[in-house]
C-alpha cells in the first residue's frame, strides 16, 4: 500500500507528495510560516525546515515517514518546541513532523493507574483530566518540568524530562511504561507494558527510547504511570549570605537521610533580579536561597521540618521561613517559577545550560561558573534543582552581538567540561540536542560511542531521524562554535 503510493507519485516534489497525502492545510511550506519552526527554546540553533507536517494519527505518521524514507529526507520530530538544546532545529533541510494534532487522551485506567495518551498531549492536561474523573483527585502524572503548561508528553519522553519534584519522584523514564513509535522507514514499533500492567519481558525498550531526542523515530503514543498525590506538605525557605553554605546545607540534608520532594536553589544575582521585578521582600544581603518542600504523612512532617531547618541553621542560614499554608506555598513556588520571566528585564538574550554533578561538588561548580563568566565578561546566574545536583547556569548576552554569542557558547562549553571533570554529566534533563553534541566525545569513550552508533542504526539505518543531534555522525555535522575565536583576557 505504502509502496504503491510512493510509485504512483513518482516525479512529484516531496512537498507536493506530502500535500497529496495530508492535504494542504496540514503541510506548511510558506517561508513566512516556516520561520516559526526554525528553532526551539534554545534560540542560538536555527535552521529552517523544508516543510512542517501535522499528521493526526499513527497511521499518518507511518505514511509520512515511509514517503520521506523513499526520498532519504531528514525528519525532525517536534512537540511544543520548548526544548532548550536545539533538538527541533531542522538541519540538513529537514522536514518537521509536528505532534500538535495528536492530542487525544486515549484511556485513563485508574484501577491499574495507567494512562494511554497521544504524544502531543500537554503535560498538565493529563493530571487535570485524571483529577476530573470520579476518584481521580488522588492521582496525578508526577513529572513536572517547569514548562509543563506548554510541553508535550512526547517531548518530555524524548528528552527524558525532569522537573522540580524529580528528586523524590524521578525523571520521566521512570513513569513511561510503554511506547508506540514510528521508525524512520514507516514501520510501527509498540514496546513495553501496554496492557495495564507495569512489567514486561525482554529489553527495556521504553527506557532506551526515553531521552533519545527524536534520533530513533517519532513517538506517537505513551502508556504512563499515574502516581498518588502527596496529601500534606511543608515548605521551607532558607536564605544564606553565600552559595557555598547553601550547597553544604543540601548535602547535609541528604546525608541526614531526608528525601525532600524538591530542593531548589537561586543565587544572589537571580534573587536581586526577581526582587527588582516582583518585590517579594527578599533581603538585599541574600546571596542564595534554598526552597525546600517535604511531603508525606501529616503527623511526621513537623518533626522532619524542624530537623531540616536545624541543618540549614547549622550551615549558616541567616533567615528561615516555614509554612504549611497552601496559599503561601503557591506564592513561594510562584517566586521560583518567575525567574525566567524576570531575566527578560535585565538581558536582551539568555540561554540556560543544564548539567548534572555530584551534590557534594555543587559549591565548587558554582565557584567555577562564576570565574568562567568573569573571564568571558559575561553575567551568569543560577537557578537550579540543587537536590539532584542538576545545575542550570543562565548566560546573559545580546544575540545581536556575535562576539557575545560566541563568548556565551564558549563559556557554556567550559562550564560543561568542568562539570564532566567534576564527575558529572552533560545534561540533567534538557538533553544534548545540537547544543552539546561537540562534547559527546569528551564525555563518552570510543567503545560507548560505537555502541550508541550501532543502537541508532538498528532503528534508523539510513540516519534520517533528527540528524546533527545527540549522536555525532559523519552524515551531518553541526557545530555552533565558530573556529578560532579567542577567549578575551
| Residue 159 engages ligand FAD in binding (rule: CB under 6 A) | yes
- Give the count of residues interacting with ligand FAD (CB under 6 A): 38
Using rule CB under 6 A, residue 472 touches ligand FAD: no
Separation CA 246–CA 271 (nearest Å): 14
What count of other Cβ atoms lies within 10 Å of the Cβ of residue 169? Answer: 18
Contact between 155 and ligand FAD per CB under 6 A: yes
Q: Rule CB under 6 A: is residue 151 a binding residue for ligand FAD? A: yes
Determine, following the binding rule CB under 6 A, whether residue 429 of this chain makes contact with ligand FAD: yes
CA-CA distance, 192 to 252, in Å (whole number)? 38
- Who's near 482: CB < 8 A, 6+ residues apart? 406
> Which residues in the 320-339 window bind ligand FAD by CB under 6 A?
none
CB of 453 to ligand FAD, least distance (A): 18
Q: Is residue 401 classed as helix, strand or coil in its secondary structure?
A: coil
- CB of residue 403 to ligand FAD, shortest distance in Å: 25
Q: What is the Cα–Cα distance from 405 to 477, expressed in whole angstroms?
A: 20
Is 40 a binder of ligand FAD (CB under 6 A)?
yes
Which span sits near ligand FAD by CB under 6 A: 154-162, 224-232, 308-316, 472-480? 154-162
Considering the complex, state which of residue 91 and residue 397 has its C-beta at the smaller distance from ligand FAD.
91
Q: Does 87 bind ligand FAD (CB under 6 A)?
A: yes
Stretch that binds ligand FAD, among 24-32, 71-79, 124-132, 323-331 (CB under 6 A): 71-79
Query: Measured from the CB of residue 83, what is the shortest distance to ligand FAD in angstroms?
Result: 3
Among 65, 68, 84, 291, binds ligand FAD (CB under 6 A): 84
Nearer to ligand FAD, 219 or 362 (CB): 219
Q: How far is the CB of 286 from ligand FAD (least distance, A)?
A: 23
- H or E, element range at 243: helix 243-255
**26 near ligand FAD (CB under 6 A):** no
- Give the residue from 260, 258, 266 showing the smallest Cα distance to 239: 266
Residue in 416, 466, 468, 471 binding ligand FAD, rule: CB under 6 A: 466
User: In the stretch 277-316, what mask flags binding to ligand FAD with x, by CB under 6 A?
Assistant: ----------------------------------------
Q: Is 312 helix (H, G, I), strand (E, B) or coil?
A: helix
CB atoms within 10 A of CB 93: 13
Residues 202-241 that bind ligand FAD (CB under 6 A): 213-214, 218-219
Q: Which is nearer to ligand FAD, 161 or 439 (CB)?
A: 161
Q: What share of the chain is helix, strand, coil (3-state, %, to 5)?
A: 40, 20, 40
Of the candidates 389, 474, 486, 475, the one whose C-alpha atom is nearest the C-alpha of residue 428 is 389
Per-residue mark of binding to ligand FAD, 97-126 (x: CB under 6 A) = --x-------------------x-------
**C-alpha to C-alpha distance for 14 and 95, rounded to whole angstroms:** 10
Burial annotation 390-428 (CB, 10 A radius, 16+ → b, else e)? bbbbbbbbeeeeeebbbbbbbbbbbbbbbbbebebebbb
Residue 314 phi, psi dihedral angles, 5° rounding: -65, -25
Residues composing the chain? 489
- The span of 106-114, 150-158, 228-236, 452-460 binding ligand FAD (CB under 6 A) equals 150-158
Name which of 89 and 317 has its Cβ closer to ligand FAD: 89
CB 142 within 8 A of CB 126: no
Listed residue (414, 431, 404, 401) closest to 89, CA to CA: 431
Q: CB within 8 A of 489, min separation 6: which ones? A: none
Residue 467 makes contact with ligand FAD by CB under 6 A: no
Q: Which three cell numbers stand for residue 160?
A: 527524558
Of 76-84, 131-139, 365-373, 439-447, the segment contacting ligand FAD by CB under 6 A is 76-84
SS3 267: strand
Binding residues for ligand FAD, rule: CB under 6 A, are 40-41, 76-84, 87-88, 99, 119, 145-147, 151-152, 154-156, 158-159, 161-163, 213-214, 218-219, 340, 429-430, 433, 466, 469
Amino acid at each position: 500500500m505504502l509502496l504503491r503510493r510512493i510509485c504512483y507519485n513518482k516525479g512529484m516534489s516531496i512537498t507536493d507528495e506530502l500535500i497529496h497525502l495530508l492535504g494542504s492545510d496540514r503541510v506548511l511550506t510558506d517561508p513566512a510560516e516556516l520561520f516559526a519552526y526554525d528553532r526551539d527554546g534554545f534560540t542560538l540553533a536555527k535552521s529552517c525546515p523544508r516543510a512542517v507536517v501535522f499528521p493526526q494519527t499513527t497511521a499518518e505518521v507511518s505514511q509520512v515517514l515511509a514517503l520521506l524514507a523513499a526520498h532519504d529526507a531528514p525528519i525532525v520530530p517536534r512537540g511544543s518546541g520548548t526544548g532548550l538544546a536545539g533538538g527541533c532545529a531542522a538541519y540538513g533541510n529537514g522536514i518537521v513532523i509536528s505532534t500538535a494534532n495528536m492530542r487525544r487522551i486515549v484511556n485513563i485506567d485508574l484501577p491499574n493507574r495507567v494512562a494511554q495518551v497521544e504524544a502531543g498531549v500537554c503535560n498538565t492536561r493529563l493530571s487535570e483530566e485524571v483529577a476530573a474523573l470520579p476518584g481521580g483527585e488522588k492521582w496525578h502524572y508526577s513529572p513536572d518540568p517547569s514548562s509543563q503548561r506548554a510541553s508535550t508528553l512526547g517531548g518530555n519522553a524524548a528528552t527524558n524530562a525532569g522537573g522540580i519534584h524529580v528528586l523524590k519522584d524521578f525523571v520521566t523514564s521512570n513513569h513511561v511504561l510503554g511506547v508506540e513509535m514510528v521508525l524512520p522507514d514507516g514501520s510501527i514499533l509498540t514496546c513495553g507494558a501496554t496492557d495495564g500492567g507495569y512489567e514486561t519481558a525482554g529489553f527495556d525498550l521504553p527506557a532506551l527510547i526515553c531521552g533519545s531526542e527524536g534520533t530513533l523515530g517519532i513517538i506517537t503514543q505513551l502508556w504512563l504511570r499515574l502516581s498518588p498525590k502527596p496529601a500534606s506538605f511543608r515548605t521551607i525557605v532558607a536564605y544564606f549570605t553565600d552559595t557555598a553554605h547553601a550547597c553544604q546545607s543540601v548535602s547535609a540534608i541528604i546525608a541526614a537521610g531526608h528525601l525532600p520532594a524538591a530542593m531548589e536553589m537561586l543565587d544572589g544575582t537571580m534573587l536581586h533580579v526577581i526582587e527588582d521585578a516582583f518585590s517579594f521582600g527578599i533581603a538585599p544581603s541574600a546571596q542564595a536561597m534554598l526552597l525546600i518542600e517535604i511531603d508525606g504523612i501529616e503527623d511526621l512532617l513537623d518533626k522532619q521540618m524542624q530537623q531540616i531547618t536545624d541543618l540549614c541553621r547549622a550551615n549558616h542560614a541567616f533567615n528561615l521561613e516555614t509554612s504549611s499554608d497552601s496559599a503561601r506555598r503557591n506564592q513561594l513556588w510562584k517566586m521560583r517559577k518567575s525567574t525566567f520571566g524576570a531575566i527578560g528585564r535585565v538581558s536582551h538574550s539568555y540561554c540556560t545550560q543544564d548539567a548534572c554533578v555530584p551534590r557534594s561538588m555543587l559549591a565548587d561548580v558554582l565557584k567555577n561558573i562564576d570565574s568562567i563568566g568573569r573571564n568571558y565578561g559575561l553575567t551568569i546566574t543560577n537557578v537550579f534543582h540543587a537536590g539532584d545536583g542538576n545545575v542550570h547556569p543562565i548566560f546573559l548576552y545580546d544575540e545581536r552581538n556575535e562576539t557575545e554569542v560566541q563568548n556565551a557558547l564558549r563559556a557554556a562549553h567550559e562550564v560543561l567540561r568542568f562539570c564532566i571533570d567534576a564527575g558529572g554529566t552533560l545534561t540533567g534533563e534538557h538533553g544534548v540536542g545540537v547544543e552539546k553534541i561537540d562534547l559527546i566525545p569528551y564525555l563518552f569513550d570510543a567503545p560507548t560511542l560505537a555502541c550508541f552508533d550501532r543502537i541508532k542504526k538498528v532503528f534508523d539505518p539510513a540516519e534520517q531521524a533528527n540528524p546533527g543531534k545527540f549522536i555525532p555522525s559523519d552524515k551531518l555535522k553541526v557545530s555552533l562554535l565558530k573556529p578560532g575565536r579567542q577567549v578575551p583576557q
